[in-house]
A and B are shown apart, each in its own frame.
Chain A
Amino acid sequence: MAAQAAATTFNGNLKKALAGLRRINLEGLRWRVFDAKGQVLGRLASQISTVVQGKDKPTYAPNRDDGDMCIVINAKDVCVTGRKLTDKVYYWHTGYIGHLKERTLKDQMAKDPTEVIRKAVLRMLPRNKLRDDRDRKLRIFADSEHPFGDRPLEPYVMPPRNVREMRPRARRALIRAQKKAEEQEQGGSQRKGRKREAKTEIAA
């Protein structure tokens, strides 16, 4: 009952979430949950792609698809370093001459944040006949609700990583931004400087 109630809270993308589940045979697979909140995009996508390929199992075989089902939640909270939020551009060509389209990361996150992670993971999988099947095993959700609550889910613990120490210029900018934020809190005016806020979020 609770599962059904939770499942019907996001009726809009329920169809998309359950799409093609019947095509995936072998329900001896585990369901792993990745929390994308605060994770760097590429590093998260790399781990997801190893799990989806089944490369963490001793029974890996390159000719058959044996990866676990991966559920990614909080896709809108995934981070990128540097200026990628404004500078990373997704290009695609429609086939008509001169129609090279582009869209920045910021716009894509506003439009559909799940596509960012999906593109990242898909481009890390090997380009063979199993790629589409592996794509079907990926379920990405922008917020932290998903309709698979009644399954036995296993949270995936990201391996620990040593974050590089901040470069001196970036560190000075961070300190300046923190001081400015303190002054503004005391002043009580509007908060400016989204980029520096993003840097504090990444460094923390």
Chain B
Amino acid sequence: MTRIKRRRRTKISLFASSFRGAHSRLTRTITQQRIRALVSAHRDRDRKKRDFRRLWITRINAVIRGMGVSYSYSRLINNLYKKQLLLNRKILAQIAISNKNCLYMISNEIIK
């Protein structure tokens, strides 16, 4: 009867308790918004990996271009692969933020 419906719906509305306006108050919209939220989360778990890699690449590019004439991210990666250095972009971006000179030293070693 009503008990069962209410129990099911309170479980769902707990998920949507922080949503804005009618999306956290009306039961039918709550179920819809919960589904949409979960779909977005599922899709964006894969997107997150792509987005962060993009961000790291942009940051590395920004720092590397300050190094010399016409040195760029693409050349850096080429040199990395040629010297078989296994640093990934995440680490390179962290190095770029925290300690720029360290990245310059690494890239100078790689160029030779």
Q: Offer 10 A-B interface pairs, CB within 8 angstroms, sorted by A.
A: A55-B58, A55-B61, A55-B62, A56-B65, A58-B96, A58-B97, A59-B97, A60-B58, A60-B59, A160-B69
Known pairs A55-B62, A56-B65, A159-B69; A61 contacts B55 (CB<8 A): yes
New A-B contacts (9) at CB < 8 Å, excluding given A56-B65, A58-B62, A58-B100:
A55-B58, A55-B61, A58-B96, A59-B59, A59-B97, A60-B58, A60-B62, A62-B58, A160-B69
B89 → chain A, closest Cβ, in Å? 13
B55 and A57 within 8 A (CB): no
Please pick, from A58, A61, A159, A160, the residue contacting B63 in the complex, using a CB distance under 8 A: A58
Residue of A nearest to B60 (CB): A58
Please pick, from B62, B69, B70, the residue contacting A56 in the complex, using a CB distance under 8 A: B62
Q: How far is the CA of A170 from the CA of B110 in the complex (A)?
A: 43
Q: How far is the CA of A58 from the CA of B61 in the complex (A)?
A: 8
Interface residue tally on B, bucketed by range: 10 to 19
Indicate with 1 or 0, residue by residue over A158-169, a CB within 8 angstroms of chain B CB atoms: 011000000000
- Residues of A with Cβ closer than 8 Å to B? 55-62, 159-160
Q: What's the dominant secondary structure at chain B's contact region?
A: helix
Residue of A nearest to B66 (CB): A56
Q: How far is the CA of A56 from the CA of B72 in the complex (A)?
A: 12
Residue of B nearest to A55 (CB): B62
Please pick, from A57, A62, A159, A160, the residue contacting B62 in the complex, using a CB distance under 8 A: A57
Please pick, from B59, B69, B70, the residue contacting A58 in the complex, using a CB distance under 8 A: B59
Q: How far is the CA of A56 from the CA of B70 in the complex (A)?
A: 14
Q: How far is the CA of A57 from the CA of B69 in the complex (A)?
A: 17
CB contacts (< 8 Å) of B66 on chain A: these are: 56
Q: How far is the CA of A60 from the CA of B69 in the complex (A)?
A: 21
B106 → chain A, closest Cβ, in Å? 14
CB contacts (< 8 Å) of B59 on chain A: these are: 58-60
Chain B 56-112 residues near chain A, CB threshold 8 A: 58-59, 61-63, 65-66, 69-70, 93, 96-97, 100
CB contacts (< 8 Å) of B93 on chain A: these are: 58
CB contacts (< 8 Å) of A59 on chain B: these are: 59, 97
B93 → chain A, closest Cβ, in Å? 8
CB contacts (< 8 Å) of B69 on chain A: these are: 159-160
CB contacts (< 8 Å) of A61 on chain B: these are: 55
CB contacts (< 8 Å) of B62 on chain A: these are: 55-58, 60
Residue of B nearest to A59 (CB): B97
